[in-house]
Amino acid sequence: MDVIGAGFGRTGTTSLQAALHQLGFTPCYHAGEVFANPEHTGYWAAAARGDSDGWRRALKGYRATLDWPAVAFWRELAEAYPSAKMILTTRDAGNWFESIDQTIFKTVLTGQVPPAVVQMFGGGAEKAAQLADVAATLARDVMIPRSFGGSIDDRDHVIARYERHNEEVRREVPPSRLLDYEVARQRPQHPARRRPALIAGHRAAGYGATGFQPSEPAR
């Protein structure tokens, strides 16, 4: 494992995934991987119950992780892969909430995956129902309890959990290991945390000179 994404979903993780792919950090585990591999739902649910073999099975063969469900286990991943670099993607808290409320939370609350997403994975009513079940299980067993303290009903509570998460990552991960990246500004938020310099405008900066090199997939 080379790269661990510590930022919540809706902070530019899809664009970051594309950038990591361009740099050779493939495959990269993102939320869509669970939709493509529904059996992974059980792995992550087991991990949430304390079985570390759960996330290890899900991430076997991957060189990078981003977004949920993996971000809910960022501490475990950081400890398991001490040589992996970490990227914290953030954005304005209010804008982030509006984005997640109209996308991920909407899917959780309505039980319906957007038609465009269903089409990406083959389309049809059966696939829509399968993806809705995957989304509901991950939200119920992983995202809501581990990232939001069991509730997504209150805006202030959700934002407080988001900000608390970001500060915990900044406090616990050494600056030499962390890229703290505010997406809206398209530059590292804290100049002192530039090492290793990975992204500038969602592209590599200093690749090959920072130790940020693809290595072996996770096992």
pLDDT in tens, 33-66: 999 999 999 999 999 999 999 999 999 999 999 9
Walk me through the domains of the chain, giving residue ranges and CATH numbers.
3-193 (3.40.50.300)
Residue holding tokens 């991957």? Answer: 62
Type of residue found at 60 = K
Nearest CA to 30 out of 22, 20, 39 is that of 20
Helical pair 125-138 and 40-48, crossing angle rounded to 10 deg: 10
Angle (CA) 191-12-85 rounded to 5° is 55
pLDDT confidence of 195, banded at 50, 70, 90? very low
Beta carbons of 29 and 89 less than 8 angstroms apart: no
Q: Give the residue-averaged pLDDT of 62-78.
A: 98
Nearest CA to 63 out of 33, 98, 91, 104 is that of 33
Please determine, for residue 16, whether its predicted confidence score (pLDDT) is greater than 50: yes
Please determine, for residue 122, whether its predicted confidence score (pLDDT) is greater than 60: yes
pLDDT in tens, 155-180: 999 999 999 999 999 999 999 999 99
